């Protein structure tokens, strides 16, 4: 159980890194518009929080699906779980952002999305957006969920096999897709997107899960050294994310896999294989609660950033105290908003989706493991 709390803490860290990254970019963009200066704090590539999410996802899918491997109806139940967990909140966020974009388009501030772009956003289908042709949905953060849902589909195909063979099959399928991408350079947007090397980060998480299930453990000293090496590799950051523009779309590819994905997998392995933490204190329990709300934090933090920025500029706080207090305030406001959404919106939506799907899914086998 303590190890599962550690996973929630890592989820909180991953989401927090993404929020801090976007908070800085939002403040920097606002500063640039009024001719002010803003220097980002980049000892680590904060956008790599996404890569940690992918590693955690690969691990958790293996860990939480123990009773579904090689079981009748396991694939359907697996997909039902993931749909109930992912779709309702994402569709809500997409609807909010679509309404905002359509309002901006009506005012002549932005280009209106095409019907195909809008439908693809709800369907988790990579589609070139009108703005710049990048394969990003209406709610741009949803690009990670397009990878997640594709991974779930591939996982469901192989879940009919025993666990080790299923994991090997998923990893082989993802590796084959990446090799095909490298050799053939597909022009289809969706196929090129789903065969990007970043998908191998899910395989890294799955490999850690198999090793963890086989009893692999390391001493506290080894775990600390492994974590320190991972952090050092992240700090080197061959991606040079510190020099990217405030509104840049971070590239994927092999460089990201080795620069961010592999170190994040090593950091996660250090936390997973190391000694189970002692009873967590109030601070770690609070982080675990943020980890519980990490999905809501990831999806909805742009709303807090936009609202705080508007208040900040309207109150001329940028002149009085600058933009770094805005970064801190936006990050904290994002967490508060996420906790509220998790408790009062995400939980009820997920429960309703589970109740709606339950009669439509095959009956659970005895001793089915609860999802992590």
pLDDT computed for residue 328 by the predictor:
97
Question: Which pLDDT belongs to residue 276?
Answer: 76
Residues 9 and 293: beta-carbon distance below 8 Å: no
pLDDT in tens, the chain (372 residues): 455 788 999 999 999 999 999 999 999 999 999 999 999 999 999 999 999 999 999 999 999 999 999 999 999 999 999 999 999 999 999 999 999 999 999 999 999 999 999 999 999 999 999 988 899 999 999 999 999 999 999 999 999 999 999 999 999 999 999 999 999 999 999 999 999 999 999 999 999 999 999 999 999 999 999 999 999 999 999 999 988 888 777 789 999 999 999 999 999 999 999 987 777 788 889 999 999 999 999 999 999 999 999 999 999 999 999 999 999 999 999 999 999 999 999 999 999 999 999 887 887 643 333 333
- pLDDT value of residue 364: 63
CA distance 372 to 360: 22
How many CA atoms are closer than 13 Å to the CA of 369, on its beta-carbon side?
15
Q: What is the dihedral of CA 291, 231, 234, 47, to 10 degrees?
A: 20
Whether the CB-CB separation of 268 and 205 falls below 8 Å is answered with yes
| DSSP letters for 127-183 | -B-TTTS-B--SSGGGHHHHHHHHHHHHHHHHTTS-HHHHHHHHHHHHHHHHHHHHH
């Amino acid at each position: 159980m303590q190890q599962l709390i550690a996973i929630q803490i890592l989820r909180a860290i991953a989401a927090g890194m993404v929020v801090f990254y976007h908070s800085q970019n939002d403040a920097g963009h606002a500063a640039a518009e009024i001719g002010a200066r803003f220097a980002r704090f980049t000892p680590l590539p904060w956008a790599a929080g996404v890569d940690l999410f992918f590693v955690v996802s690969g691990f958790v899918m293996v860990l939480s699906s123990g009773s579904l491997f090689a079981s009748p109806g396991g694939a359907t139940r697996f997909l039902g779980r993931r749909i109930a967990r992912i779709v309702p909140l994402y569709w809500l966020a997409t609807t909010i952002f679509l309404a905002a974009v359509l309002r901006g388009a009506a005012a002549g501030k932005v280009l209106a999305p095409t019907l195909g772009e809008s439908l693809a956003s709800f369907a988790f289908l990579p589609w070139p957006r009108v703005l710049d042709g990048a394969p990003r949905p209406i709610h741009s953060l949803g690009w990670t969920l397009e990878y997640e849902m594709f991974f779930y589909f591939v996982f469901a195909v192989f879940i009919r096999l025993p666990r080790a063979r299923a994991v090997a099959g998923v990893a082989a399928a993802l590796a084959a897709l990446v090799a095909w991408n490298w050799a053939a350079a597909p022009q289809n947007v969706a196929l090129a997107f789903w065969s990007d090397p970043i998908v191998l980060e899910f395989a890294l998480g799955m490999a850690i899960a198999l090793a963890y299930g086989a009893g692999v453990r390391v001493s506290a000293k080894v775990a600390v050294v492994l974590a320190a090496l991972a952090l050092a590799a992240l700090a080197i950051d061959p991606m040079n994310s510190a020099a990217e523009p405030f509104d840049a779309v971070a590239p994927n590819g092999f460089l990201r896999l080795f620069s961010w994905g592999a170190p994040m997998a090593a950091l996660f392995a250090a936390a997973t294989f190391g000694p189970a933490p002692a009873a967590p204190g109030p601070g770690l329990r609070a982080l675990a609660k943020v980890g519980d709300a990490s999905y809501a934090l990831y999806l909805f933090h742009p709303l807090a950033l936009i609202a705080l920025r508007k208040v900040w500029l309207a109150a001329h706080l940028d002149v009085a105290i600058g933009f770094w207090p805005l970064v801190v305030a936006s990050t904290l406001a994002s967490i508060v908003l996420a906790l509220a959404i998790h408790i009062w919106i995400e939980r009820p939506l997920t429960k309703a989706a589970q109740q709606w799907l339950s009669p439509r899914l095959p009956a659970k086998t005895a001793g089915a493991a609860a999802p992590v």
